[in-house]
Amino acid sequence: MLDFPRVAQEIALLLVPVLMGITFHEVAHGYVANWLGDPTPRLAGRLTFNPIKHLDPFGTLAFLLTRMIGWAKPIPVNPRYFRDPARGMMLVALAGPAMNVVLAVCFALVIRLVEYAAMGVLPDTVAYRIFEPLAYICAAGVQVNIALAAFNLIPIPPLDGSNVLAAFLPPHLAARYMDFGRWGFFLILLLAVTGLLGTLILPVVRFASRLLLL
């Protein structure tokens, strides 16, 4: 049977890190695109840290069901505004995972502060009841953001890694490669169902989490 209290607890611990992770990820894409001369994200109202503007209903449902994978609405970007479209798309793509790495480091630093503040705090006190879940949320924030960075850097269109790889391909090959994006989502689902997605991502998450949480 499904352990509803445990599932609810998992979702509660992951909710803030996931919302922050996907929101900051998409906003980073938008700000870099805007900085490179593309006003599309700004005109679409996506340069906001309001998570509701970025949530995708199916991506949110996937996260609630799996507590592992989910996605946001992609930021609209028009590469025609970029001086070098391939390089511009690569920089926009890298901005999202880079932001997730920054967030993971920030969550790790907050854990250090919590551990310092909790020194000498006795169990069954109000302070302990605040510090303990906060530490768990921050630990989840490290893992979630590393997972988001690693997942998005997989070079399967339409993930961010595909725009990075496409920047290094000849234009005709890059165009054919990016056309695969119409099937990329199904390939990602296949990897998730077969467990291969976890095989790719989990070692990265474990290594980076150990590094940040030493």
Rounded Cα gap, residues 56 and 62, in angstroms: 10
So which residues are the catalytic ones?
A: 26
Q: Which two tokens stand for residue 151?
A: 């997942």
Give the closest residue to 112 by CA, choosing from 134, 143, 130, 127: 134
DSSP state letter for 101: H
**Cβ distance 145 to 90 under 8 Å?**
no
**Cβ distance 80 to 88 under 8 Å?**
no
Cα-Cα end-to-end distance for the chain: 36
Rounded Cα gap, residues 200 and 102, in angstroms: 21
Q: Which two tokens stand for residue 21?
A: 């992770």
